[in-house]
């Protein structure tokens, strides 16, 4: 579900992907309502899979509270697609620095 009302077609997603690759941008996708747009979670994952297949630098934020009926539980993930193990290690190191205070002293 996209509250803006903009739901690109697969061809439009391909064009968006190519332009982002041309510009060398990093991508943050926020997928809070996967499956709500079309009623099919697989179909709604098209853009995510396309960007992964095309080799984007990608961060993916997903919320599962509504999808799994866990209202108010704040259930979700942050996935980071890295180009290799070295980059993954660097990213993990930085994420640990960010999340450590949250685990030690939650709000």
Residue 50, classed as helix, strand or coil, is: helix
Strand order in the sheet with 27-31: 27-31, 58-63, 76-81
Partnered with residue 81 across adjacent β-strands are 58
Q: Contact at 8 Å (CB) between 30 and 61?
A: yes
The pTM assigned to this predicted structure is 0.79
Tens-digit pLDDT profile for residues 53-104: 999 999 999 888 777 777 777 788 899 999 999 999 999 999 999 988 887 7
């Amino acid at each position: 579900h996209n509250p803006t009302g903009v739901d690109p077609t697969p061809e439009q997603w391909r064009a968006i992907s190519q332009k982002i690759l041309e510009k060398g941008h990093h991508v943050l996708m926020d997928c809070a309502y996967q499956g709500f747009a079309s009623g099919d979670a697989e179909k709604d994952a098209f853009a995510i899979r396309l960007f992964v297949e095309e080799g984007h630098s990608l961060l993916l934020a997903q919320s599962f509270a509504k999808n799994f009926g866990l209202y108010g539980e704040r259930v979700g993930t942050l996935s980071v697609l890295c180009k290799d193990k070295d980059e993954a290690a660097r990213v993990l190191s930085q994420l640990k620095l960010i999340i450590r205070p949250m685990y030690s002293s939650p709000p």
